[in-house]
Amino acid sequence: MYRFLLTRQWLILALLALVLIPTMVELGFWQLHRHEHKVAQNALISRNLKAAPVPVASLTAPGHTVPRSDYWRTVTATGTYDTAHQVVVRRRTSADGRIGVHVLIPLDLKGGGTVLVNRGWVPSAASQQAFPDVPGVPAGEVTVTGRLKADETTSASGIKDISDLPDRQVMLISSTQEAERLARPVLGGYIEQTAPESVGDSPELIEAPDDGSIGPHMAYAVQWWLFAAGVPVGFVVLARREKRDRVEAAAKAAAGEQQPAGPEKPEPATA
């Protein structure tokens, strides 16, 4: 009674099940890997944020690519701000989702060299071509504390050439790009300032990354694997139901054929 499984309809259904099962299993592992990545990242963030501050020059140098193991390390830098070369980084959001810019300024270090400091967020100017209103910085020697970040290497804007942008505006925080503009070596990566606090809360300092939330990726992984297990179970249930329906239909047909005919009516008498 399972010969119907060889029909075109059921063969297509079986092939579909064979495709869905490994696909769902793979999607489950994809979510599992995302979960593991998030857990590892949270551990790295927590460990580096709690580490004792170190001089920025001990972790990076001109042309250096900041490794992932040093992301968010607390660093200090002492020097004087180069206010003449301060720029803003376009299309950045504040903690509450407002669109604005980040303020990026070179800090000439006391012991030599230059490091970029992301001072935080300010609103954009009314015109995209205009430079926004940015609060000034202290004159003379200052000490900045912040989180070490790696250079940004991609831009959602698609603008590759700095000449496409208004004066003193950039799309990426890139020590290589700024070194070319400043015509002097710049330490790789940049400092995301956490101290001192901005006067009047402007620029708005960037919040620390979240090191607690891991998201629903593990739940999604289990969900996909349950779906994968449910496909063959569902196929068997459908097949058994189809068999039952066919058996019942065959039994009804056989009963109809074996039902005895009623008595014949007598022919009318003739005169």
pTM over 0.85: no
Mean pLDDT of the chain, nearest integer: 90
Q: What is the pLDDT of residue 249?
A: 84
Structural domains counted in the chain = 1
In a domain, 254, yes or no: no
For residue 254, the SS3 value is helix
- Which has the closest alpha carbon to 182: 20, 46, 62? 62
CA 62/CA 186 separation, integer angstroms: 5
β-pairing, 87-93 with 54-55? unpaired
Whether 172 maps to a domain, the answer reads yes
Does residue 170 fall inside a structural domain?
Answer: yes
Model pLDDT for residues 169-199, shown as the tens digit of each residue: 999 999 999 999 999 999 999 999 999 998 8
Task: Give the pairing type, strands 74-81 and 99-109.
Answer: antiparallel
Q: 10 Å Cβ neighbour count for 7?
A: 11
Give the span between the Cα atoms of 95 and 210, in whole angstroms: 12
In a domain, 22, yes or no: no
pLDDT tens digits along 52-111 = 999 999 999 999 999 999 999 999 999 999 999 999 999 999 989 999 999 999 999 998
Position 156 scores a pLDDT of: 45
pLDDT band at 203 (very low <50, low <70, confident <90, very high): very high
- Alpha-carbon distance 1 to 249, whole Å? 12
Task: Give the pLDDT of residue 157.
Answer: 45
> Residue 173 belongs to what domain range?
53-201
In a domain, 6, yes or no: no
Torsion sign (Cα): 185, 188, 189, 193: negative
Higher pLDDT, 149 or 247: 149
Q: How confident is the model at residue 23 (pLDDT cuts 50, 70, 90)?
A: very high
Name the nearest CA neighbour of 181 among 257, 87, 43: 87
